A and B are shown apart, each in its own frame.
Chain A
Amino acid sequence: MLLFSFSFLLPSHVSTAKPSLETKVHKLNEATRKNQGVVELDSNLYDEVTSRPRNYSIVILLTALDPQINCVPCKDFDPEFRLVASSWLSENIPSRIYFGVLDFKNGREIYSKLNLNNAPTLFYFPPTTGQYAKEVSEPDRYNFNKHGFEAEPFASYLSHHLGTKVPVKRPLNKMAIFVYTFFILAGLAILKLMFPIVQSLIQNKKIWTMFSLITILMMISGHMWNHIRGPPYVMVQGGKINYIASGFSSQLGMESQIVAIMYGVCAFSVVLLIISIPKIEDKTKQRFGIYIWMGILVAMFSFLFALFRIKNPGYPFRLFA
């Protein structure tokens, strides 16, 4: 993959009139100084700055911030990227490494040339000449799946390549801190004021029951799986919405909630049959209740079977043929 992506660049050098190293560096410095540490690129500029020889390293983020291309990770990563760029600018001399951004709307050619069909993509171009030049001169592709979209892993990745520490200086958001502290204080105050209520809440058995039952239901309906794997809530295929993921060991967000509710209903009906039905004095009422709740239980259980048969087609049992 690395080789392929780079290889497309090779012929491109011949096409563009080869600019001298100085002009390139000059341009880059200008742009860098202009908007804090980041060079906005377009197709030609891209070819230019990536063309050999380079006595600088450059990371180029190919992104798509266009609202109609709804690229969530691009949006997530963009500020982080700029953060790293700016904190580098504030710390070190810029001429060592440059941070380029190529948006899709300015660089369709490049996208097509590299036949990239997923953004964001990030390349690191090591220097080819100068003191920092290494023997590897192909660009390295940043693995988002592995490092994720935060600034810190990205910075450590860069420092790994440059050999020097790349800092990340998050400007601490005073407003936020203030708000938080305020809320905390307010919360404490409220706690103090209405302590009796809180106490009664804490000592209330029903609340605890509810709480623990809900936790259990969430857990046994595979909520942790969603939490870790982060599946889509529902899956839209050809216009129709899927609530149920196919496959035994996968599920959708909604699916697990459906299951939780079904479990809940079953459990609830059992509890009713045990607890409140015997308390009904009127005989017919009681009979009525029993029939209803038993019916609900059976129905839910059979639904469960049906659902499970979807997940595991080989499953032989069912409540109603």
Chain B
Amino acid sequence: MVLGLDVQNQAALLKVVILGLISFVAIASRLFSIIRFESVIHEFDPWFNYRATRYLVSTSFYEFWNWFDERSWYPLGRVVGGTVFPGLMVTSATIYNILHALNFSVDIRNICVLLAPTFSAFTAISAYLLTAEIKDSSAGLLAAAFIGIAPGYISRSVAGSYDNEGIAIFLLMFTFYLWIKGLKEGSAFYGALTALFYFYMVAAWGGYVFIINLIPLHAFVLILMGRFSSRLYVAYSSFYVLGTLMSMQIPFVGFQPTRTSEHMAALGIFGILQIIAFVELVRSHLASNQFQILFKSFIIFSFVAMFSALVLLTFGGYIAPWTGRFYSLWDTGYAKKYIPIIASVSEHQPTAWPSFFFDLQMLIFLFPAGIYLCFRELRDEHVFVILYGITASYFAGVMVRLMLTLTPIVCVTAAVAVSRLLDIYLDVDNLETERSVDRPESDNKDNKDKDNKDNKGKHKKLKEGTSRSSLIQSNQSKIFGIKGFDTRAIVLMNFYFFLVIFVWHCTWVTSNAYSSPSIVLASRRPDGSQFIIDDFREAYYWLRKNTDYNSKVMSWWDYGYQIAGMADRTTLVDNNTWNNTHIATVGKAMASSEEVAYQIMRRHDVDYVLVIFGGLLGYSGDDINKFLWMIRIAEGVYPDEVKEGNFFTSRGEYRVDDEATPTMRNSIMYKMSYHNYNELFGGQGQDRVRSARLPSEKIKLSTLEEAYTTENWIVRIYKVKELDNLGRSLEHAAAFNSGKKRRRTKTSKKKSTKNG
């Protein structure tokens, strides 16, 4: 009797306390970047979300809803309201308004920065709920602890990475929890709740497609296993109908749920469920022989109906085929060949095994074990877990970024496995000495709160031990439990050790890999003191303060959002890559010679061109390294003007030094990157990224002039010269072309004589 509470209340209190601790840990372990750098928005996409949120906060919701952003995708502009998942922005705007209603004058930036960590705490809690449904609350606590610190999830939810995934994973888990709950109880209420959170998910992340395919798949498998029940019927129908209707309210989704093949599965399952339910109904009312006839006829009828519908839709073209992103999940070669823009994104690359281990460490091999355990007691929710596990692991294998969807289920299954193990090896029924064992353990554990947790979990299990063992006995032949005390000790010790290592691993990964806001680079001086390389913001702020507000900045699409967010200038292309042609045009401009590029830039009235050049500092993520993708994407649209081959040497190498091909040297990307670079070295420049010595001849720019270069030369901004040039170049265009020809052949001749 602690605090004069009976055991049940003590358990409840413990759970609450432990969950509180877990949430705290989850949030705290995501604050490295704030402590190390500052409270700032990270990377690329978050900058758009942040900008949109600011817009939403400063204006009204309806203005945001039909916000036409003319300062991006110049001259096309972008219908933001219709092409964005508003969930994230609305969430943080709501928080903002509530706080300000309470006179908490919190800066919107801080809300955005801290949103993801906060939601990670919620994720932990919903993981607890889900796992509690799967096994029991002790497993739930473990699962919460795991997902709280699993790097696979932290990677997308550190403070400052203000992106859809930050809240989406919570929604994913919670929706699934509600679904399981609804399925168990067969309650329309939980079905409706599922639909509600599904709607929130749709509003928040494109990954909602995973839900709308996984839940039908679950239902379908259950049907195949002959587990159709009114519970399933109620839960699914209420979820599907409400969910679909609500999801269609998001303009970006619109009528997709009825038109695209991503959503067709759900619809089909819905239909099948209706049919089966109807059949069941009829069977319950009719005598068997009549029923046979009716049943057959009905089956035939429905078959014909479905088939005809399918045919009709297919050649009617009412159902759109899979969109590229999703299609590339199935035909893995597809993207590389046809949509370079998808293939070019680093997070769309397939996943090699080290990153699995990196993100999940020991969970990764507890995952299959947990799946196996789910197979042993195969209730409906276990079927769900298994399906989730298989599909998610497939997706994670195909795309690095989808590791995110895998992580939660891995945590859940691993928690199931571990807690089952602890159940058995802490089971008190067979061995009374157990308590005396558990005490010393708990003493030396109380320093780390995470261990603290699962240790408390053990305490609780001591109390629930009896029920547990009875459960085990129920679904297995006969259990003798663990007899030897030493064996228990060794297993427990080992797993305790594993858990500790796991915590270390997570902390290490988080602090080293996932906590740097890629807009600020940190490096160490010889004396070991940290110093900050802040070139990006230097350049952006210069643009912001010292250029005309309406000037257009051309850069590769990676930097579009940052320019819009930090420099507040109009961009041609940005990370929302909705218009491949436009991007290809920019790529073409970058890849082609000054004269050609100038025409393009004039046509898009570009004032400034911004390139990233890491050569001086050895910053490898610069534009010359991304150049090949620009060329590929450009070639996809302008196959005659841009040829990837022309940028490779005869040995098929991609070089920037003396070997570099003439096309390479004439491209403005090359010129802008290395302009004035030789002079800095007084002679031949040394490129530290590609470790190459540049060609010694001076690079001359005629249509561009250097406007600003940052301290470490990372960002270089060029001004496009004024129109008088255009007049001249136009009148000389024809002569000039022929001149180019001559030059080309001449160079080739020179080369031939030299080699021959």
Give A residues with C-beta under 8 Å from B.
Answer: 1-8, 10-11, 115, 117-118, 141, 143, 146, 160, 205, 208-209, 212-213, 215-217, 219-225, 227-229, 248-251, 255-256, 259, 262-264, 266-268, 270-271, 273-275, 277-281, 283, 286-287, 290-291, 294, 297-298, 301, 304, 308, 311-312, 314, 316-317, 319
Contact = CB atoms under 8 A, between A and B. Distances in A.
A287 B486 contact: yes
B interface, by DSSP: helix, strand, loop or mixed? helix
A280 B355 contact: no
A262 B353 CA distance: 12
B484 interface: yes
B278 to A, nearest CB: 26
A209 B376 CA distance: 9
Contacts of B487: 286-287, 290-291
Interface of B: 332-333, 336, 349-358, 362, 364-369, 371-373, 375-376, 378, 386, 389-390, 393-394, 396-398, 417, 420-421, 424, 476-484, 486-487, 490-491, 494, 498, 501, 504-505, 508, 512, 639, 643-646, 648-652, 661-662, 744, 747-749, 751-752, 755-756
**7 tightest A-B contacts by CB?**
A224-B397, A222-B353, A7-B752, A266-B365, A219-B393, A267-B368, A219-B397
Nearest to B357: A308
B748 A259 contact: no
Given A255-B353, A286-B487, A274 B748 contact: no
A175 B193 CA distance: 58
B390 A270 contact: no
Contact of A263 (B354, B368, B646): B368
Nearest to A217: B368
A291 B490 contact: yes
B484 A286 contact: yes
Contacts of A7: 748-749, 751-752, 755
B364 A298 contact: no
A220 B354 CA distance: 10
A281 B652 CA distance: 68
Contacts of B367: 216, 220, 267
A316 B509 CA distance: 10
A141 B645 contact: yes
Contact of A160 (B477, B639, B643, B749): B639
Given A216-B390, A279-B477, A271 B369 contact: yes
A271 B372 contact: yes
Given A118-B652, A298-B494, A277 B482 contact: yes
B45 to A, nearest CB: 22
Contacts of B747: 3
Nearest to B376: A275
A268 B369 CA distance: 7
Contacts of B364: 220, 263
A15 to B, nearest CB: 11
Contacts of A294: 490-491, 494
Contacts of B349: 249
Nearest to B424: A278
A286 B481 CA distance: 10
Given A6-B748, A11-B752, A274-B421, A225 B352 contact: yes
A263 B356 CA distance: 12
B353 A304 contact: no
Contact of A228 (B332, B512, B751): B332
| Most B-side CB within 10 Å, residue of A228, A262, A281, A314 | A228
Contact of A2 (B352, B378, B646): B646
A266 B417 CA distance: 12
Given A3-B748, A224-B351, A279 B479 contact: yes
B350 A228 contact: yes
27 contacts: A4-B755, A7-B751, A7-B752, A7-B755, A8-B752, A208-B375, A217-B368, A219-B396, A220-B397, A222-B350, A222-B352, A225-B353, A227-B332, A228-B332, A248-B355, A250-B352, A251-B352, A255-B353, A256-B353, A267-B365, A279-B478, A286-B484, A287-B487, A301-B362, A301-B365, A312-B354, A317-B508
Which of A118, A222, A279 has the largest count of B CB atoms less than 10 A from its CB? A222
Contacts of A271: 369, 372-373
Contact of B749 (A10, A213, A314, A319): A10
Contacts of A1: 645-646, 648-650, 652, 661
B226 to A, nearest CB: 9
B478 to A, nearest CB: 7
Contacts of A312: 354, 358
B43 to A, nearest CB: 19
Contacts of B486: 287
Contacts of A255: 353
Contact of B484 (A115, A225, A279, A283): A283
A270 B420 CA distance: 10
B353 A228 contact: no
Given A8-B756, A312-B354, A273 B651 contact: no
Contact of A286 (B483, B504, B645): B483
Contact of A209 (B354, B362, B372, B662): B372
B645 A215 contact: no
Contacts of B332: 224, 227-228
A223 B479 CA distance: 38
Contacts of B421: 270, 273-274
Residue in A215, A229, A274, A280 with the greatest tally of chain B CB atoms within 10 Å: A274
B355 A249 contact: yes
A304 to B, nearest CB: 7
B354 A249 contact: yes
A167 to B, nearest CB: 21
A279 B661 contact: no
Given A1-B661, A3-B747, A222-B353, 14 more contacts: A5-B650, A7-B752, A11-B756, A115-B650, A220-B397, A223-B397, A228-B332, A229-B350, A273-B421, A275-B376, A290-B487, A290-B490, A308-B358, A312-B358
